[in-house]
Amino acid sequence: MNIKKWIAVAAACSAFTLSACGGKGETAANTDKVYRVAMNAEFAPFESMDSANNIEGFDVDLVNALAKAGNFKVEYKHQPWDSLFPGLSNGDADILASAVTITDERKQTMDFSEPYFEITQVILVPKGKDINSVEDLKQVKKVGVVTGQTGDFAASKILGNNNSKIARYETLPLVVKELENGGLDAVISDSAVIGNYIKNNSDKGFSMVAVPDFEVEHYGLAVRKGDTATQIMLNEALKKVRESGEYDKIYDKYFAKQ
């Protein structure tokens, strides 16, 4: 995996050590350590790049709030989605904060924080396409997904993993652009992301179809398998951020109803 420039974020105070579990040394985190947070910043509004190539979004604001509440430091790295999990495993990153859905399969190779966001898969449908159910989806010619994301798993479950109707793309912007250009009949992806796209592209006439066949899922912050200290640190910080009301403020910034 190519090593890209890390983007440092000042998200800590000046203490030298942190006891992450009620002051007990066995779970203490050292604030001299900078936790490397990797994400694929092509999934607005959770993570994307601004005009100055800085990573921004819900996940960034949340992790910054966790770092402040938990008294630890973080820095961010933007990289391709398919390199996130290998990078975590081999030590290139300490935390994945990239709208990662918690699944039983992923739990076999990594650990997760407590869930921090609830979503489901939905279908993005262009104007003129009559798709209202999974059965309708089975009749179309091409369904777009992002390779390895939960929408890919959902399409594979409905249509079969090797079905030629499934068109896989590296990023969400690429698959949505193909839908806009008429090369796809529909796209399957996360509800919050599709909702954000429709909100910012209302002139295109696209709609979001929710179907009961897609189960409710949750995002979590991923850490290396067995890294209990970091997992506990994140969970305790997340609890503080929720209890303080800071989580709700961040949520409303990105998802409040208009």
pLDDT attached to residue 50: 94
Q: In what order do the strands lie in the sheet with 47-49?
A: 42-43, 47-49, 55-56
Question: Does residue 11 sit within a domain?
Answer: no
In this prediction, residue 27 carries a pLDDT of 42
The answer on 103 and 127 residing in a single domain is: no
Task: Tell me whether strands 207-209 and 121-125 are parallel, antiparallel or unpaired.
Answer: antiparallel
Look at residue 18 and tell me if it is in a domain: no
Per the structure, the complete domain to which residue 144 belongs is given by 119-216
Q: Are residues 99 and 227 in the same domain?
A: yes
Nearest to 12 by CA among 73, 69, 56: 73
Dihedral Cα 208, 211, 213, 217, nearest 10 deg? 50
> How far apart (Å, rounded) are the C-alpha atoms in residues 258 and 256?
6
Per-residue confidence (pLDDT) for residue 115, from 0 to 100: 98
Determine, yes or no, domain membership for 23: no
pLDDT of residue 199: 86
Q: What is the pTM of this model?
A: 0.74
| pLDDT, position 31 | 61
Give CA–CA dist 111/100, Å, rounded. 12
- Both 56 and 182 in one domain: the answer is no
The string of pLDDT tens digits covering residues 163-176 is: 999 999 999 999 99
User: What is the structure's pLDDT at 215?
Assistant: 84
Q: Indicate whether 185 belongs to any domain.
A: yes
The domain tally of the chain equals 2
Is residue 166 domain-shared with residue 239, that is, in the same domain?
A: no
| CATH number of 249's domain | 3.40.190.10
Which residues of the chain fall below pLDDT 70? 1-31, 256-258
- 43 lies in the same domain as 79: yes
